[in-house]
Structure 1
Amino acid sequence: MPDSTTTLLLHAAIIGTGATLVMDAWAILRQRLLGVPALNYGLVGRWLAWLPRGRFHHQPIAATPPVRGEHAIGWIAHYLTGIAFAGILLGLWGLDWVRQPTLASAVVVGIGSVAAPFLLMQPAMGAGIAASHTPRPNLARMHSLVTHAVFGVGLYAAGWGARLATKSL
């Protein structure tokens, strides 16, 4: 039988990956139904790849020279971030949450996760705090909030999936 740290990491990986897949499915649906462009995780990868080179802030990130492998870096970071937020959920509510996932706690973490793009990613990539330097900041904020709420619903759905998948552990 795995120890509690291994169990927590396993559940965080399952739940975070599942929730991020739900978020990505939402992005595809949003693009097809509403014409909202999907996020370019290559730009996230570009930002991350420039960090070890001493560059945190870009104005804007799209004007910064591309980096080899930026798309892979960005997508991996996207999924690792989802796993990290699932870990936060389990850290706050404990492994008991997997035995009985609750929508409210999952959505709280999902909506809370919007702080990462609002306060870190968007300012660092030249979009300002909470997309304040974009052409339509309120629309960008609304899309971010809805997407992160969908991520929260994904945490909940993936929590039930993890519960069923790991019942034997």
Structure 2
Amino acid sequence: MRFAPAAAALSLFLATTASVTSAQDPEVDPRAASLVMEGRALLAAGDTQAAIDAFEAALAVDPGYTPIFIELAEAARRDGLQGKAIGFYREALMRDPDNFAAISGEGAALVEKGALEKAKRNLARLESLCGSSCPETVSLQGVIAAGPPARLAAETAEAGPASN
């Protein structure tokens, strides 16, 4: 009992220190930033696997840099791995819940998987956070309007209505 006041004071101090420390934006490691730039260039050139390798190397150098997860998700989407991309977007959203690029990207990957209702929820969230004219909202609106890829639409039509 005699340690209770000291323990309470110490826990209050640690809680305050932790919240102040977590509120600061960490600086990105320059090596990680360089690897991300390299990955973006490789992705633009169409070398998806090399881009993924560069992004994963950047993640190894600076695991706290959230934008790397968005880059990995974009590369996975281009590789046709929408489920993996959604996982990367969700990791980014766990770290930064209001990241517009992650919300929009996850919505686009959901459309590509055929999950239009879930993608529309992402769109509604984006509209509430940044409005209907921000670039991420406009981009997701376009993807939803276009609908799932033709290949997925054909597979869904062939499967017919689901029966229980």
| Larger Cα-atom Rg | 2
Larger RCO, structures 1/2 (Cα 8 Å, 6+ apart): 1
